[in-house]
Amino acid sequence: MENNTSAKVSAGIDPGFDQLNRDWYIDKAVQVLVFIGGISAIVFIIGIFVFISKEGYGFLVGEFNFKEFFFSPNWRPTSESKETFGILALIAGTASVTGLAMLVAIPFSLGTAIFIAEFSSGKTREFLKITVELLAAIPSVVWGFIGLAIMNPIIIQTFNVPVGLNVLNAGIILGLMAAPIMTSIAEDALKAVPDRYREAAEAMGATRWQVIYKVVLPAAKNGLLGAVLLGVGRGFGETMAVLMATGHSINIPTSVFDSVRALTATIAAELGETAAGSPHYQALFTIGIFLFVITFIINLVADLVVRGVRKG
Amino acid sequence: MVSAGAAPLSEETVSSQVKLGVRDLHISYHHVTALEGVNFDIHEHEIFGIIGPANAGKTSFLKAINRMDMFTPEMKVEGKITFNSVDVSRIRNVYGLRSRIGVVFPLPVGLPLSIYDNVALSPRLRGQKNRAELDVIVERCLTRAALWDEVKDRLDSLGSMLSGGQQQRLTIARALSQDPEMLMLDEFSIAVDPVTTMRIEDVLKELRKEVTIILVTNLVQQARRLADRTAFFLDGRCVEVGVTEDLFTGEVKDQRTRDYVEGRFG
Amino acid sequence: MFEATPLNQRNDTRQKLFRFGLGTMTGLLILPVVLILGTLIYKGAPVISFEFLFTGPTKGMTAGGIFPALLGTILLVLVALIASVPLGIAAAIYLSEYAADNWFTRTINLAIINLAGVPSIVHALFGVGAFVIFFRFGTSILAASLTLAIMTLPVVIVATRESLQAVPMAFREACWNMGATRWQTIRRVVLPNAITGILTGVILEVSRTAGETAPIMFTGAAFFLPLLPQSVFDQTMALSLHLFVVSTQVPGMPENLPFGVALVLISMVLLMNSLSIALRMYLRGKKKW
């Protein structure tokens, strides 16, 4: 019976709807195009690594000496007698400025995030969020200028020191810079804690701050850690502000009033003066590779930490 | 083959052509069966009812027909469904298939376009640009869906902001604007008031001259009012297929069918 | 009512203290920035005039205006947008409309996060290695803009993806059911309803691009040029770099001039951001479903 039926059916009806028409081909073409867009981010990240490695390669296989590079404080790439490429002092400069910046930014950004997420509502909340967003938009060269033209004289006067361009200046500037971004991310993490957690704790008679301390903060722990890590990454990679506010002198700092020089700032200050392909030029690219790898790791860890929050 | 597909057919339906053939259909999600053992033919110009309680696999069945399973990676369809005797699983241009099948969902979806653009969307997708022709299509489809009188003065307002019942009629108008060969309605009356339901039912009776209709419904009496033949789905199986009136009054093969249509469960 | 027990009172006091402390911190975070902005306006505003904006620097940059830098920034931003907006929107469409939830998509997302997180000076090194040297664009507007485009690509991708994903799935399914291809669905229903959100992202990108300095230092921006650029293969001055130059590199600079430059730059950036925020709030008030 089935054979009978299908024979009859196939006689009369036109199956023409399965023809591949223009819309079908356009759809396929778009699919390919947006896929190219999608993989572009991967291509660029690989491209960045490949191209800076290509330029730094000559140094890595030539003058590069692991022990000198990482453990010598002497960055003398243009010395007449003997060139040395030690980035220890530069690492110390970056680390001290980033460290101080985090001392400023972590408490302030977390405090502000808690205030916005848990203690404000309506218009206040909206106003604070917009303000934080606008603060995050101030360009780093403007921050550098602020360090140079406003913070510098203030530090000289307040602490009676000869130079105001130092770890303190750059640390505060960098802290103010990183805090808004950290605040936004931390606030997102706090907002992601479901309200039923808060309600359950409040139903048991806990006060607002107890709820925050005992319930909200532990639940948002990973997101907050992610915010801090991204802040560290940001401070570590910041260029213009530290170039302008640190004083830019090679130093392993012993106090916050010492001038220092950061890894990023060294590249920014010296790349223009080097001849392409020279050891100095290649050494600057090698610092670039180092910065790339470190920030990649920081971002990767931050991403894993924040992702852990969503799974849990 | 001897199975539910070989159910007795009335004189009238045997003589017409098969629009949709279903053989050994098996649908699963993550290896959990949602529907199996479906075998029947749906003929041109018939209203084919599908009744059954929730989770019987009715909606999955409709998704398999117009290949919406490709947007649900975990949904697996085995067996064979033919539309115009073409195996739908072998179709490359699934859009061509879907454009010939109008679908109405349980929850109405008015697209965030103007009412006019909602109804004109499908003709436009097929390349119709002539405004006068579009005007005719829009008015005809909205009238048939019993919505024209209510919206004719505000065709520019957003379709997604209409009331639930109006959105459902808009969805029906949109399905009609496809000029479909087959119409699949999935519990359309959930979102509509009883009066509108009756008006739409009248429209369906009329449409039957032009299109084949699959009417999935949670209202047993609606199937009785409209459907020529009806299938009863229960717990992921097609329990019974037959001439609708037989399910209510005649012999049924499975006692559960009788229990369901008489309202003893479901 | 319940009597206030000593414990309750203590908790109440603590709560007030806590709230006050947090509010103070918020204030302390915002206040310095407000003071700083006030100083910028106080010292910078007197410098700004029609002539400052529309004439070039004179007397070794210690006098005159900033027109070449302003124009250069606009050019850099425009070329960067031409490169990054289509690419970013394509990437966002792929991620929102096509990508499955698998390792490949996670890799793309990780790449986007890193693209945003890599230090700007590393982007500069990449620009030098790739565009200036390898593709032989030389130090030019093209090389600098492409470097900026790649650096700010994540801004467009993330904003676009978010606004695409805000369009409910049911609309797509309704379209697919009617026989619309994926692209027809995107073009006719998804994109029109996401366009304001995308625009917000593009404006944010303009703001980011205009403020960046390090990526353009060695790829196309010059300290000083006597002539305006004639093509994308010429170098250009830029506002951000100009601020760096006038505040660090030029001896005998009148005190207020750099403040003027900083004020123009920050006004541009904050104006763009405010525009983006206003657009977003307008969008939120205007529900379409």
- Interface contact A47-C126, CB threshold 8 A: yes
Query: Whole-prediction pTM value?
Result: 0.89
| The pLDDT value given to residue A38 | 95
| The pLDDT value given to residue A309 | 52
| The pLDDT value given to residue A7 | 39
**Residue A218 lies inside a defined structural domain of this protein:** yes
**Residue A32 lies inside a defined structural domain of this protein:** no
With helix as H, strand as E and coil as C, how does chain A read? CHHHHHHHHHHHCCCHHHCCCHHHHHHHHHHHHHHHHHHHHHHHHHHHHHHHHHHHHHHHHCCCCHHHHHHCCCEECCCCCCCEECCHHHHHHHHHHHHHHHHHHHHHHHHHHHHHHHHCCHHHHHHHHHHHHHHHCCCHHHHHHHHHHHHHHHHHHHHCCCCCCCHHHHHHHHHHHHHHHHHHHHHHHHHCCCHHHHHHHHHCCCCHHHHHHHHHHHHHHHHHHHHHHHHHHHHHHCCHHHHHHCECCCCCCCCCCCCECCHHHHHHHHHHHCCCCCHHHHHHHHHHHHHHHHHHHHHHHHHHHHHHHHHC
Residues on chain C touching A48 (C-beta within 8 angstroms): 118, 122-123, 126, 150
Q: How many CB atoms lie within 10 A of CB C74?
A: 16
Which positions in chain C have a beta carbon within 8 angstroms of at least one beta carbon in chain B? Answer: 100, 170-171, 173-181, 184, 188-189, 192-193, 288-289
| The pLDDT value given to residue C135 | 96
Residue A248's domain is classified under what CATH number? 1.10.3720.10
**Residue C205 lies inside a defined structural domain of this protein:** yes
**Residue B75 lies inside a defined structural domain of this protein:** yes
Number of domains in chain C: 1
| The pLDDT value given to residue A99 | 96
* 3-state secondary structure at position B185: strand
**Residue A197 lies inside a defined structural domain of this protein:** yes
Residues on chain B touching A8 (C-beta within 8 angstroms): 17-18
Among candidates B68, B111, B174 on the partner chain, residue whose Cβ is nearest the Cβ of C171: B111
**Residue A173 lies inside a defined structural domain of this protein:** yes
Number of domains in chain B: 1
CA distance B94 to chain A (A): 7
Q: In chain C, which stretches have pLDDT less than 50?
A: 1
What pLDDT, in 10s, does the model give residues C173-196? 999 999 999 999 999 999 999 999
| The pLDDT value given to residue B177 | 95
**Residue C55 lies inside a defined structural domain of this protein:** yes
| The pLDDT value given to residue A97 | 96
| The pLDDT value given to residue A147 | 94
- Interface contact B158-C178, CB threshold 8 A: no
| The pLDDT value given to residue B130 | 94
Residue C131's domain is classified under what CATH number? 1.10.3720.10
With a pLDDT cut of 70, the percent of chain C lying above it is 97
* 3-state secondary structure at position B217: strand
Residue B45's domain is classified under what CATH number? 3.40.50.300
CA atoms within 13 A on the CB side of A298: 23
Residues on chain A touching C137 (C-beta within 8 angstroms): none
Structural domain containing residue A124: 89-263
Structural domain containing residue C168: 50-285
**Residue A246 lies inside a defined structural domain of this protein:** yes
Q: In chain A, which stretches have pLDDT less than 70?
A: 1-16, 308-312
Number of domains in chain A: 1
- Interface contact C289-B160, CB threshold 8 A: yes
- Interface contact C91-A41, CB threshold 8 A: yes
| The pLDDT value given to residue C2 | 54
Q: How many CB atoms lie within 10 A of CB A68?
A: 15
Asked if B218 and B137 count as a contact pair (C-beta separation under 8 A), the reply is no
**Residue C232 lies inside a defined structural domain of this protein:** yes
Q: In chain B, which stretches have pLDDT less than 50?
A: 1-15
